[in-house]
Structure 1
Amino acid sequence: MSTQSPSFLYRLGRSSAAHPWRVLGAWVLVLATVSTLSWAFGAPMRDDWDVPGARAQQGIDTLREHGVGGYASARVIVHDGSGEPLATAEVGRLTDRLLDLEHVASVSPPRLSEDGDTAILTVEYDQPVTHPDLMANTEPLEGAIAPTIDTGLQVELGGDLPDTAGEPIGGTGEIVGVVFALLILVIALGSAVGAGLPIGIAIAGLAGGSAGIGLLAATMAVSPSAPMVASMVGLGVGIDYALLLVTRHVENLRLGLSPIEAAARAVATSGRSVVLAAVTVLVSLMGLRLAGLTTYDAFGLATAIAVVFVATAALTLVPALCRLGGRKLLPRRVRRGRPERTTQPLTGRWAARVGRTPLPWALASLGVLLVLAAPVLDMHTWPSDASNQPADNTTRQAYDIVAEEYGPGTNGPVTVVVPTADGVTDEVVSTLASDDRIAAVAPAVVTPDGELAIVTAEPTFGPTDQRTSALVSDLRQALPDGAEVTGWTPFFSDISEMLQQRLWVVIAFVVGVSVLLLGVMFRSVLVPLKAAAMNLLSISAAYGVLVAVFQWGWGSDLLGVDRSMPLSSWMPILMFAILFGLSMDYEVFLLSRIREDYLRTGDPRGSVVRGLSATGRVITSAAAIMMVVFLGFASEGDVVVKQLGLGMAVAILLDATLVRMVLVPATMSLLGHWNWWLPAWLDRLLPTVRVEAELEEEPADERELVGV
């Protein structure tokens, strides 16, 4: 026996495998407890769209203080497709029904188009759009417009309240991901039992994570979209972590170890990689808090809860279920006593080939990534609006009718709030009217208390146009002091600008902390810096692909997108934080095995080949599963979900192919022993956290493989 005490992870794996039914029972108890607490004390998901740092928020708050706006609104578009003028009586009856709805403060007089076949009714509410009675709830509006639709008129809903309903998430991503993941795992592991195990563990972890998110919603505003993102990430990493452990367990079984000892050693080695990989994901998610928006805080915390649950499930349930699975986890060929193939795995042969001529391979892969990343220089971001929805969506129909009948700028008006005491209302109207980018200026409206004048202007272009941000900025400089440019269009412009600036803060934090963690893990200077650079390259390339598909329209029809559009402002930061953590997962998995081999052999090039041989199938299978999961989400109707799903799928594809299979072996072969260089002073300064576990020598009576 070794005189060294067993590691905590070794003891955890051995205990879980020795008492599998206790572990299963404990998990049932934990899930039942968390679910009960969530049911009793949890709260519904809700958004908080107030952004104190946005300048337009000041004008919104001012309107609310005077009770004349700043709350939820909706547009009811009535259109006669035959081109006949609308009947005044029917529009009047519709107005009366809208006024009777709960929380409705006012309904504007109908604004008729020039030919009279279209009318806009603006419904103002007395609560913010995030109020539980209003958020995503269009049923009252649909009930009010139904009689008008029955007369043969077309009635569509637009504005910020109907926009919150968006496209329903049908759960296609999870279903498609689970089905294809099962097929990939059967091929990778050669065992139906082994294939089902990672999926079952990921689902168990997600069940606990979902309940935990419900409890989180009782303490803060959690966006209804947050559980979807948490499920997307949790399902992917949960399967990855479980697959890594199961693969190492099966390797140990083939060496002749008992199921208990095989599980203990799998958790002691690969389990340590799981812990460190999960930590890097959590660090990346915590970087979302630096974005400055409450919504991102909720996204980060919700996804972190899911990651913690699935990682804990992998470390405890895998050894327990592997013990119960026994020899059924082995491929059928091995169970039947047939000789195994002894040829070197394809990934090992590939790594050796790249290692023989590393420079050309490194330059070629680098060139491909840079070409794919080039479109990012033209990236334009804007919060998703109705113009991006599918053509049959009512908000998109309303948007298109308004743009055709009244002009594109009517979909993105700009509101200017002016204190009447300043006596500059006429100057504001004159300044707006003199700007060539303004198509129309409505007469100033004075609030009932006489303290504010409200002026509404409509640009000559739609809100997603790249000129919108410049227009908002120029108006703020040109208008007199005291005038506040506000409304949803300036508000979205402020958010987009804020997020572009904050993206670099998030990147600096996530990259800096991740590099420090990898330096501690692998006792190296160059390995973490190289890993960060490669991750940034693959993520930039994914951004570039998104720009080409959505902004330039290349192949967008394959995703059911019928027009070019900017990328959602919410997407770059969210996508970066998630992808950087996931990419570091694969980096930790691969480098852990390479370093184990290097410390044992001292061979820098051979360790890369052998490390990639040992983990290549796991990483490839895990990446394929994640790609399927993310592409499943790209099939959803909501365009933000499409962008996020496609971007993450592309990034994972590039990471698993060009980065892990080409750049990593090529650069590590070029650097040789320098990969593991660490100055003595820095070695003394950094805390020691060993990735490669010291494996305990098992008792003699456990040497024989048992089939329990």
Structure 2
Amino acid sequence: MASLLYRLGKFSFRHRWWFLSAWLVMLLGIGGAFAAFSAPTTNNFTIPGSESQRVLDELRNRVPDAAGGSGRIVFETSSGEAFTEAERRAVTDTVAELNSLDFLKSVSDPFEMQAQLDGSADQLAAGQAELEAARAQLEAGKPQLDAAAAQLAAGRDQLSMAQMQADQLDAAGQVQQAEAVRAQLSAQEEQLDAGEAQLAEQQGAYDDGVARLADGEEELLEAQRLAEATDGLRFVSEDGATAFSEVQFQEQSYSVTPEQRQEVQDTANRITDSGVQVFFSKEIVEDVSSLFGPSEGIGVAVAAVVLILMLGTLVAAGLPLLMALVGVIAGVGTTMALTGVVEMTSISPMLALMLGLAVGIDYSLFIINRHRTQLLHGMELEESAGVATGTSGNAVLFAGLTVVIALAALAVPGLPFLSVMGLAAAGTVAMAILVALTLTPAFLGFIGNRILSKKAWAQAGITPPAPHAALAPEDQAAAAQHKENGSPRRWGRLVTKHPVITVVLSVLLLGTMAIPAGSLRVGLPDGGSEPVDSTAYQAYQRLGDSFGEGINGPVIVVGYLPDGLTDREASDLTYEVAGKLRGLENVTTVVPASTSDDGGMVVYQVIPEGGPAAEGTEDLVHTIRDDAGQIQDETGVEIAITGQTGINIDVSDKLMDAIPVYLLIVVGLSLVLLLLVFRSVLVPLIATGGFLLSLAASFGAVVAIYQWGWLGGIFDVHNPGAVLSFLPIILIGVLFGLAMDYQMFLVSGMREAYVHGEDPRQAVRSGFDHASRVVTAAAIIMVSVFAGFIFAHLTMVRPIGFALAIGVLLDAFVIRMTLIPAVLHLLGKSAWWIPKWLDRILPDVDVEGARLLGPAQSPDGTGAEQELASAGR
């Protein structure tokens, strides 16, 4: 591979205009694809096939009114006093105007909703009074009906006796008397028939009254159950100064365009002229269309300063930045072009941008630094570009592939959004590698000798040669002398002079920093993690202060009622299940929100005591699932959890479950990779142990700041809570890849020095001297780029930027440049021990292209080993 890259470097140098044109055409094509096919990203995190996602999909089909995206608009009086009548009318008019927007399904009027809640008690009392009056009237009328019925029955008995007397008179031959009696009987019978008809009418009215009383009692019972269910639910705060409207979109949240979100804000903001303040929840104001903000530029600016200080010229310093920019445009542009066909979260292009900038600068820097060193050692320009690409470029390829593999392995947990995220970042890193290996040597041809400052040439005592020309004999002597005068690094001498103290202090430092990691709790961000001055945070805080934290993150529970129930039976079961849910710990209230058209599915809104990312809310979700079987046994109703809060908790649980497997894959890959590179048993174990130590310390720092709130004022963490759920797995993958980068560039020099005959302890110092300067600069650059994202406009990115910055800082400076040299110095020759049978079967990967240079190609004729050992890495 080194020979192939050597030829590629020379070819790129020689045909630089062709490579520049090819990359320009590629960038134009990517830009066109981005313009034609890109779509908005989303913060919709789902787990296909999970219970919560399955129920949500079913909910969209059976209860479409509950399936659209939703948000909240918070209204608050400027005075802090209760809403005046004029302010109430202004809110109602604003709600009506919002309801006229065709992309909104509904917007609730908070005062109307609160009036219904407040009036329910009065309505219940009035209804109860009416029922009592009706019951009293029925109870009073019943004796009268019974008395009338008894009187009619007695009259009918008397009529029967009189009829018998008339029959007896007929039998005695007293016909006229009998007829007279029958005439009287006929009149009495007509009176009885009329009385019975009247009694039947009265009985019918009484029966209707009884039926109406039963219906009224059932309606009253239903109203009482609803009142109990909504107890604690409010739409206007108790002090009357804050109110909120529920906004329901026609489409899912990720399908709502930025323009539609803005129209909602513009429409509602008109009310501010009436003295009412308006705040919008995160779901309404969230705009993930912008990737790069001003804070990210600060990190790039710091990287530029480091490059200028290290390379000495603006031309040389600008080259790694330009290469990183090309790689980012190509990688992130391709990623964004795919958003039209692949649902992608906003964090995917942001992670790709973050990594693309960092590795793009570093990978080009490694090749440029090697090229500069070789020029000062007397190598001709084109040859140097080829050798730098074949040696340091070979190491860049090998190291970059480890990053790509680690990122692509994010598909292991089986979460589509995480797989897309990993592949997007891996693709951008691959672009950075491609740019470093092709476009960097091409630009080395454009820049020529200007890659070194006049001061650098003068200090080396060399006159810059013309392109394709060899150094003059006197300059060759100066170059050889410059090569021999490599300056030792004081830090390398210090850590190897006191290796035991160095190891103990390093382990104590990282071990102490890792302590908070034991309290790690993960979740997805909510409005409480937004910037303090943002409307999303203001809405979140006002809702929590006025209505309880749980209003910000209701848990959606779906109940499946048995088939064949009457309306009364279905209602009884609905409220019975609500009562059981209300009795759970950490529950404020439970509201049966809606029912499917077929009556078989009931949607409950469970308002927890804490916010959506609170530990109590997470416990509540697990408790509901644990108790689902018992509830079904007792009621026959199957329940399941869905909604954003439930899905977020499911995502977090799934990611945490995947971390041990993913970490095992990464550690296994690390051991195999380092075994191949260093042909040693102990070096891979030490390097991997160091990675785990820096990883634990990074987790500890993240927990202390973002979960515990330490130094929150510095890092703008005003509402500490659960750590971003996919941060741990991203940190593992990315930090592993970057740690292996520095391990290879730093320790491979130590191994080469040892292989070339140096004392094993002196080899550690020699290797450190050769590589520490460029590794230090590369690490500072990478830390700066990552740190620039700590105050990114997308708050979800902030803890990732911090974690990667602190992770690289600790791994590069504490592990790779402090602990590793000290341990290798202590081990001496045994550090490079490997069983002979294992050494024979391992392929020689020659990561740094040690066999690339032959004596004829070396400027001083010393051959490959000495050239590699003396050239800067």
Per the normalisation by structure 1, the TM-score is: 0.92
Q: Residue 336 of structure 1: SS of its match in structure 2?
A: helix
CA displacement at 1:187 relative to structure 2: 1.4
RMSD of aligned Cα (Å): 2.6
Cα distance change of structure 1 residues 85 and 20 upon mapping to structure 2, 3 Å threshold: closer
Q: Residue 96 of structure 1: SS of its match in structure 2?
A: helix
CA displacement at 1:55 relative to structure 2: 3.0
Task: Quote the Cα distance in structure 2 between the aligned partners of 1:652 and 1:60.
Answer: 40
Task: Quote the Cα distance in structure 2 between the aligned partners of 1:435 and 1:46.
Answer: 34
Structure 1 residue aligned with 2:449, among 327, 352, 366? Answer: 327
CA displacement at 1:613 relative to structure 2: 0.7
Task: Quote the Cα distance in structure 1 between the aligned partners of 2:71 and 2:33.
Answer: 37
1:688-703 mapped onto 2 (5 Å cutoff): 688-693=844-849, 694-697=851-854
Task: Quote the Cα distance in structure 2 between the aligned partners of 1:548 and 1:346.
Answer: 38
Cα distance change of structure 1 residues 41 and 104 upon mapping to structure 2, 3 Å threshold: closer
Matched AA of 1:420: L
CA displacement at 1:219 relative to structure 2: 4.2
- Contact map agreement 1:173 1:630 (CA 8 A) in 2: no
Q: Residue 540 of structure 1: SS of its match in structure 2?
A: helix
CA displacement at 1:89 relative to structure 2: 3.1
Structure 2 residue aligned with 1:216, among 313, 319, 338? Answer: 338
Structure 2 residue aligned with 1:500, among 656, 659, 678? Answer: 656
Counterpart check, 1:540 vs 2:696: yes
Aligned to 2:718: 562
Matched AA of 1:459: P
Aligned to 2:300: 178
Aligned to 1:99: 99
Structure 2 residue aligned with 1:63, among 55, 59, 66? Answer: 59
Aligned to 1:118: 242
Task: Quote the Cα distance in structure 2 between the aligned partners of 1:76 and 1:684.
Answer: 70
CA displacement at 1:314 relative to structure 2: 1.1
CA displacement at 1:346 relative to structure 2: 5.3
Aligned to 1:85: 83
Q: Deviations over 1:267-324 (max 9, x none)?
A: 1211111011101100110121123322212221211221111111111222222233
Counterpart check, 1:463 vs 2:605: no
Structure 1 residue aligned with 2:438, among 316, 326, 330? Answer: 316
Q: Residue 243 of structure 2: SS of its match in structure 1?
A: strand
Task: Quote the Cα distance in structure 1 between the aligned partners of 2:647 and 2:501.
Answer: 49
Cα distance change of structure 1 residues 10 and 639 upon mapping to structure 2, 3 Å threshold: same
Task: Quote the Cα distance in structure 2 between the aligned partners of 1:608 and 1:22.
Answer: 42
Task: Quote the Cα distance in structure 2 between the aligned partners of 1:414 and 1:136.
Answer: 29
Task: Quote the Cα distance in structure 2 between the aligned partners of 1:262 and 1:418.
Answer: 72
CA displacement at 1:702 relative to structure 2: 8.0
Task: Quote the Cα distance in structure 2 between the aligned partners of 1:309 and 1:636.
Answer: 24
CA displacement at 1:376 relative to structure 2: 0.7
Q: Choose 515-524 or 72-81, whichever is displaced more.
A: 515-524
CA displacement at 1:217 relative to structure 2: 2.8
- Contact map agreement 1:281 1:578 (CA 8 A) in 2: yes
Cα distance change of structure 1 residues 6 and 692 upon mapping to structure 2, 3 Å threshold: closer
Structure 2 residue aligned with 1:595, among 744, 751, 775? Answer: 751
Q: Residue 165 of structure 1: SS of its match in structure 2?
A: coil
Task: Quote the Cα distance in structure 2 between the aligned partners of 1:445 and 1:319.
Answer: 65
Q: Choose 298-307 or 433-442, whichever is displaced more.
A: 433-442
Matched AA of 1:658: V
Task: Quote the Cα distance in structure 2 between the aligned partners of 1:647 and 1:256.
Answer: 42
Q: Residue 195 of structure 1: SS of its match in structure 2?
A: helix
Aligned to 1:298: 420
Task: Quote the Cα distance in structure 1 between the aligned partners of 2:108 and 2:857.
Answer: 86
Cα distance change of structure 1 residues 16 and 469 upon mapping to structure 2, 3 Å threshold: same
Structure 2 residue aligned with 1:446, among 595, 609, 619? Answer: 595
- Contact map agreement 2:40 2:289 (CA 8 A) in 1: no
Q: Deviations over 1:439-468 (max 9, x none)?
A: 222256433332222222212222222222
Q: Choose 275-284 or 75-84, whichever is displaced more.
A: 75-84
Q: Deviations over 1:158-207 (max 9, x none)?
A: 26x32633796552244223322222112112233222221121112222
Counterpart check, 1:639 vs 2:798: no
Q: Residue 291 of structure 1: SS of its match in structure 2?
A: coil
Matched AA of 1:68: D
Aligned to 1:143: 266
CA displacement at 1:639 relative to structure 2: 2.8
1:250-261 mapped onto 2 (5 Å cutoff): 250-261=372-383
Counterpart check, 1:679 vs 2:835: yes
Q: Deviations over 1:237-285 (max 9, x none)?
A: 1111111111111111122111111122211211111011101100110
Per the normalisation by structure 2, the TM-score is: 0.75
Aligned to 1:354: 495
1:426-441 mapped onto 2 (5 Å cutoff): 426-441=575-590
Structure 2 residue aligned with 1:195, among 317, 330, 345? Answer: 317
CA displacement at 1:621 relative to structure 2: 0.5
Structure 2 residue aligned with 1:519, among 675, 699, 719? Answer: 675
Task: Quote the Cα distance in structure 1 between the aligned partners of 2:509 and 2:679.
Answer: 30
Q: Deviations over 1:595-637 (max 9, x none)?
A: 2222222532222211111111101101111111112111224
Q: Residue 803 of structure 2: SS of its match in structure 1?
A: helix
Aligned to 2:9: 13
Task: Quote the Cα distance in structure 2 between the aligned partners of 1:60 and 1:173.
Answer: 38
Counterpart check, 1:129 vs 2:253: yes
- Contact map agreement 2:76 2:243 (CA 8 A) in 1: yes
Matched AA of 2:107: V
Cα distance change of structure 1 residues 71 and 565 upon mapping to structure 2, 3 Å threshold: same
Matched AA of 2:315: V
Counterpart check, 1:549 vs 2:712: no
Counterpart check, 1:236 vs 2:358: yes
Task: Quote the Cα distance in structure 2 between the aligned partners of 1:232 and 1:198.
Answer: 15
- Contact map agreement 2:296 2:792 (CA 8 A) in 1: no
CA displacement at 1:153 relative to structure 2: 0.9
Aligned length: 697
Matched AA of 1:696: L
Gaps of 5+ in 1: none
Q: Choose 679-688 or 284-293, whichever is displaced more.
A: 679-688
Cα distance change of structure 1 residues 596 and 25 upon mapping to structure 2, 3 Å threshold: farther
Task: Quote the Cα distance in structure 1 between the aligned partners of 2:584 and 2:341.
Answer: 47
Aligned to 1:417: 558
Cα distance change of structure 1 residues 389 and 44 upon mapping to structure 2, 3 Å threshold: closer
Task: Quote the Cα distance in structure 1 between the aligned partners of 2:772 and 2:644.
Answer: 49
- Contact map agreement 1:13 1:267 (CA 8 A) in 2: yes
Structure 1 residue aligned with 2:531, among 377, 382, 390? Answer: 390
Aligned to 1:365: 506
User: In terms of Rg, which structure is larger?
Assistant: 2
Q: Deviations over 1:516-570 (max 9, x none)?
A: 2222222233222322221121122111111111222221111233232221113
Q: Residue 65 of structure 2: SS of its match in structure 1?
A: coil
Cα distance change of structure 1 residues 329 and 669 upon mapping to structure 2, 3 Å threshold: same
Task: Quote the Cα distance in structure 1 between the aligned partners of 2:647 and 2:678.
Answer: 45
CA displacement at 1:211 relative to structure 2: 2.8
